[in-house]
Each structure stands twice: as C-alpha cells, then as structure tokens.
A and B are shown apart, each in its own frame.
Chain A
Amino acid sequence: MNEEIVFSTRALSVGYRGKALVRDIDIDLRRGQILSLIGPNGAGKSTILKTITGQIPPISGTTVIEGKSITAWPRGELARKMAVVLTDRIRPEMMTCFDVAAMGRYPYTGRFGSLTDNDRAIVHATLRRVRADDLADRDFSQISDGQRQRIMLARALCQEPEVIVLDEPTSYLDIRHKAELLDILSEEARAQQRVVVMSMHEISLAEEASDLIMTVHSDGHVRVGKPAEMLSETDIAALFDMDLNSRAVRRFWTHMRHGDS
C-alpha cells in the first residue's frame, strides 16, 4: 500500500456565518483509505463535507490535498483531484445515464466540452466498474434511486479524483443497493487507490466498510480512530445521547448487532 498522505485537514473548524459548529478536525488519509463520518443529525457531518470540498469556506484551518491547500489549487485542477456525490436531487433534461456520467469528464474536455474517444472509453469503463454499463442508454429520469446513485458515483469517478467525498450515499437505498454501493467504493479505494470520505447513518455498515471512523459529536468535537476502537456500545450511546437502559435502545442495539440497520 502506498503510504503517501494525499488528504488531510489541519485544525479545521467548520460552521456557518462565522460560528463554529465543529472544531479542531485533524485527519490524515493515505491512498486507498476509507473514512466514514458518523454522528447524530445536525451535529455537522454535512457541514464538514461541504467545507472539505470547498462548497463553503472554513471558519478556520485548512484542507490539504497532495500538500496544497484546496484554496490554492486552481478550480479546474482541483476538480481533477476531488469529486463529490451530494444529496442534491438532480433533474437533468433529456440526458441518458451515459450523458450524466460523462459530465464527470468536465475538467478534462476542451472549450465546448466535446468528448474524445478516450473520454468515452473512460466513461464506459467507469460505468462497468459501478455495474451500470447496461444503463448507459437509459434516460436518467427513468431509473430507480439505487441505479441513480450508482450513476452519480460513476459521474464522480469519471473525474478520476484522488479523493471522493460522498454525503450519505447509502440513505434512501434498499439493503441490497447499500451493500452494492459500499462494495464498489471499497473496490475503488483498493484497486484505484482513491481516498474515500463519506457520511453515513448505518453504523454497522460503516464499521464494515471503513478503515477509519470519525464520530461527530453534538458538542462540536470529533474523534477519529479505527472502527474497532470507536464503536463500542457505550461510545455509540454517548454519541447519540441514548440511555442504554431504555428498552427501545436495547431493542435497537440488538437489531444493529445483527447487521439489520
């Protein structure tokens, strides 16, 4: 495995209108590593993701890709380093799945965005990797949520990024599509040596799929570590502010341990 650190944050605080919601985030990620953000709604997972992708400015601190702050990269070059899968629902008009995925070639195409044969080959190869090559000619608005998410992933991968950031990629998917998506992401991390950063609600799936977990707490601090060290019963109860003795929590806990999240 390549030990080079491609993605890091230094003393990063994120929030809105000058007010920090989450403070002092320090992460270092090597090629091929998957980091999952876990925490209660409203704690700031999405805010962290928006900040590290440059959608919103940080309160303080920096995000660094390949040794250079994301604000120092020219826009076009940053788009070749980092790609996103957002929760925004897109409604493109008259675009096939191939067209949507091919938009990911944006940072590489010329003045008018025409695809070269090489671009087309990359899009087709990417669609195969996300197991969606059979969808290429289908209208994007006519496919299921699970298929749509894989196409959006393909679009991001067509940017050939070092780092891919996904905001709750598995929400709204059924269990089969959740598993499939995480499989694809681990393959991308391992075989293509990409860094994956994502937020998730399914704790057991995150534990399974990730090399590192970041828990984002409601009081604005974060902890980063290996899944095994992070997700004990007491850790999770504290993170989500749950009473371990309540019957509802016990029931939920049993479910979760059986992988039925």
Chain B
Amino acid sequence: MTTRVKAVRTALCFALLAVAFVVMTVLNINTGSVSIAPGEIFRIVLNRGTDGGAASNVIWKIRLPRLLAAAVLGGALSVSGFLLQTFFRNPIAGPYVLGISSGAKLFVGMTMVFVLRYAAGIPFWVVMGSAFLGSMLITGIVLLFARRVRSMSSLLVVGIMIGSICTAITDFFITFADESNVANLHNWSMGSFSGVSWSNLSLISAVVVLAVIAAFLISKPMSAYQLGENYARSMGVNVRAFRMALIGLSSVLSSCVTALSGPISFVGVAVPHMAKLLFGTARPAIIIPGAFMLGSVFCMGCDLIARTAFSPTELAISTVTAVFGAPVVITLMVNRQRLKENE
C-alpha cells in the first residue's frame, strides 16, 4: 500500500522534472538580446545550424551549447555533491565548499600558465586531466583532515580554508602571468557557461554520462553505506573499493565542471538536499537521477537569470547559484543543530 504511494510520488516527481526541463530549455533558447520566433528556432536546431544566417549562429553557436552546458554540468555537480555527502556522511559536503573545485581551478590555472608559455593553444583533454588531478589531490588532503575532525562544521571550515589557499595560489599565478593569458584565465576562473565549444561539450557530456551511470550502478552499496561503514561491511559491501569509487566518481564529475566552466558554487550542496525533499527519500537509486535532473533545471534557471537579470551585463553564474544555494546550506546547519539538541 505505502510502497505504491511512494512509487506514484517518485513517478510524479520525475514527470515534474521532465516538464521543468522542457520549459527551461524553451525559455533559455528563446530569451536573449536577439529574439527569434519559435518555429525558426525549431528549424535551426533541425538543420544543426548549417544555413549560416545570423539567427542560426545565435542559436546553434551560442544559446544551444550554453544551454546544454548548464544542463550537463548542473547535473554533474549535483551528483558529485551527493556522492561526497554519502562519502563524508555529511549533508553539507560538496565539491565547492570542500575546496575541491578550487583545487581543480588551481591545477588548471597552473597548467594554462605554464603550457601557454611554450605553446599557442592547449588541448582540452589536458585541461580536464589537470582539473581531475587537482580535484583528487585536494580530496585527498580534505580526507586526511576529515579523519581528525568529528563535527560536520569543522570539515566545512577545513574545506573553506583549503579552498582559500588554492585560490590564493591561483591569484598569485594570475598576477605573474603574461597579459594575454591572464584575460583567458580570469574569465574562466569566474565561472560561466558561455563560450562553450561543441567539441569540448561533447567530450565532457560523454564523460559525465558515463560517470553518472557508474554512480547509478553503485547505488545499492551506497544505500548500505548510509547506515555506516561497519554495517555496510557486514552486509557484504567491499568498503575499500566502494569508497575509492565514490571519491573517484565525484572527482571526475566535479573536475569536468571546473574544466569546462570554472568553479560553480553551492549547486553540489543545495540540489541533492532539494531533491531529497522533493522525492521524500534519500535512496541513492532515486536521488542520483533525481538530483541530476533537478541540477540541470536549477542551473539552466540560474543561467537564465545570470543572462537576463541585468542584461546586457551578464552576471557570473556563481553569483546566482550562491544566492539560491547558500541559504540551503545555512538551513541544513541550523536544522542539524536543532536535531542534536533534541537528543
């Protein structure tokens, strides 16, 4: 009986997210400084932007890749956050608040400055690789500290401090980099979905899709792990391999985001929590796809605001996500505190 009610709720929530996704897609593609009729948009998308007109360029080269980047990266960040929250058993863990995005940014920044000194361009997979290395390294450092701190807020403080150090070092590099490189780096380090090329986007999308599928495939041990490491082991989970998978996948996902769009704040913390409230469960098999879809919708919405709120001036995407995401973090901490006091 109750299981049927739950199944209906889950199905309704997914349907709702699908509708929201379509609405956001239409709004995003239809809004901007150049207005284009919906029928015209449809034709351009079908032609894959080959007719070379101005409208076609706007849609195919600017709006569509940007829209897809927001969708894919928003989903990736949310799933990455959910994996980290499971790993640290801490609802406010996320790639940005733990300093992991800043670590990726630092490595990408260093790579750009050094490589561009000797070469004209930099292959995108090198950027992705250095973002991944940076993510893994900072995750490792956070892990070292996580063993020593017990409370979830101390872990957050550790993450923020590590993030600040990474940002400081990145700034140091920017200060001493060549003029032309700086412009590049600075734009990217602010975080934005704009200027995404189709080839980079398809590479990132392929990696993200594979990583999310892999995360979905380990949703069963994740649910056991929610009862704690020891119970998970007693139920037959290979805890060591499982923890490696969690950390590896969350790093892949968050470094994809950082490589393509720079660090984006708070999506990883806020969206999984909102998904849990929406679906009324924390079951990984539901929350992984749910958080991905909600993250897509959330980031497309935030990007729409970033583009249009003060048009023609664009806001950095993190400016918008922080406004919606940070209050969620505060709420989570206050609720946790209250829970503790009630015990």
Q: Report if B71 contacts A (CB, 8 A).
A: no
Most buried by A among B223, B224, B285: B223
Given A112-B219, A112-B220, A103 and B227 contact (CB-CB distance below 8 Å): yes
Point out the residues of chain B lying under 8 angstroms from A79, CB to CB.
234-236
By the criterion CB–CB under 8 Å, are B282 and A90 in contact? no
Q: Report if B230 contacts A (CB, 8 A).
A: yes
Q: Report if B61 contacts A (CB, 8 A).
A: no
Q: Report if A17 contacts B (CB, 8 A).
A: no
Q: Which of B89, B220, B339 contacts A113 (CB 8 A)?
A: B220
Point out the residues of chain A lying under 8 angstroms from B305, CB to CB.
none
Q: Mark A99-117, 1 if CB is under 8 A from B, else 0.
A: 0100110110101111000
By the criterion CB–CB under 8 Å, are B285 and A112 in contact? yes
Q: Report if A245 contacts B (CB, 8 A).
A: no
Q: Which of B219, B228, B235 contacts A106 (CB 8 A)?
A: B235
Q: Report if B280 contacts A (CB, 8 A).
A: yes
Which stretch from A33-41, A80-88, A248-256 is at the chain B interface?
A: A80-88
Point out the residues of chain B lying under 8 angstroms from A76, CB to CB.
236
Taking the closest CB of chain A, its distance from the CB of B21, in whole angstroms, is 23
A91 and B342 alpha carbons, distance in the complex (Å):
14
Q: Report if A244 contacts B (CB, 8 A).
A: no
**Which secondary structure dominates chain A's binding surface?**
loop
Point out the residues of chain B lying under 8 angstroms from A109, CB to CB.
220
Given A106-B224, A113-B219, A90 and B231 contact (CB-CB distance below 8 Å): yes
Most buried by A among B89, B234, B285, B339: B234
By the criterion CB–CB under 8 Å, are A93 and B234 in contact? no
By the criterion CB–CB under 8 Å, are B227 and A90 in contact? yes
Q: Which of A53, A75, A90, A114 contacts B236 (CB 8 A)?
A: A75
Point out the residues of chain A lying under 8 angstroms from B233, CB to CB.
54-55
By the criterion CB–CB under 8 Å, are B230 and A103 in contact? no
A111 and B221 alpha carbons, distance in the complex (Å):
10
By the criterion CB–CB under 8 Å, are A86 and B231 in contact? yes
Closest to A94 in B: B282
By the criterion CB–CB under 8 Å, are B228 and A88 in contact? yes
A165 and B276 alpha carbons, distance in the complex (Å):
33
Closest to A75 in B: B236
Q: Mark B166-183, 1 if CB is under 8 A from A, else 0.
A: 000000000000000000
Q: Report if B237 contacts A (CB, 8 A).
A: yes
Q: Report if B281 contacts A (CB, 8 A).
A: yes
Q: Report if A92 contacts B (CB, 8 A).
A: yes
Interface residues of B in 224-269 (CB under 8 A from A): 224, 226-228, 230-231, 233-238
Point out the residues of chain B lying under 8 angstroms from A84, CB to CB.
230-231, 234
By the criterion CB–CB under 8 Å, are A90 and B228 in contact? yes
Interface residues of A in 48-76 (CB under 8 A from B): 53-55, 75-76
Given A93-B226, A111-B220, A78 and B231 contact (CB-CB distance below 8 Å): no
Given A88-B231, A100-B227, A103-B223, A75 and B281 contact (CB-CB distance below 8 Å): no
A86 and B219 alpha carbons, distance in the complex (Å):
23
By the criterion CB–CB under 8 Å, are B276 and A92 in contact? no
By the criterion CB–CB under 8 Å, are A103 and B2 in contact? no
A26 and B135 alpha carbons, distance in the complex (Å):
49
Point out the residues of chain A lying under 8 angstroms from B313, CB to CB.
none
Closest to B224 in A: A106
A84 and B226 alpha carbons, distance in the complex (Å):
16
Q: Report if B3 contacts A (CB, 8 A).
A: yes
By the criterion CB–CB under 8 Å, are B282 and A107 in contact? no
By the criterion CB–CB under 8 Å, are B235 and A93 in contact? no
Closest to B233 in A: A55
Taking the closest CB of chain B, its distance from the CB of A76, in whole angstroms, is 4
Point out the residues of chain B lying under 8 angstroms from A100, CB to CB.
227
By the criterion CB–CB under 8 Å, are A93 and B224 in contact? no
Taking the closest CB of chain A, its distance from the CB of B291, in whole angstroms, is 13
Closest to B277 in A: A94
A94 and B272 alpha carbons, distance in the complex (Å):
13
Q: List 10 A-B contacts (CB under 8 A).
A: A54-B233, A75-B236, A83-B234, A88-B230, A92-B282, A94-B282, A103-B227, A106-B236, A111-B217, A112-B285
Lowest 8 A-B CB distances belong to which pairs? Answer: A79-B236, A93-B282, A113-B220, A106-B235, A75-B236, A76-B236, A84-B234, A94-B282
Interface residues of A (CB under 8 A from B): 53-55, 75-79, 82-84, 86, 88, 90-95, 100, 103-104, 106-107, 109, 111-114, 120, 137, 141, 155, 159
Interface residues of B (CB under 8 A from A): 2-3, 89, 91, 217, 219-220, 223-224, 226-228, 230-231, 233-238, 276, 280-282, 285, 339
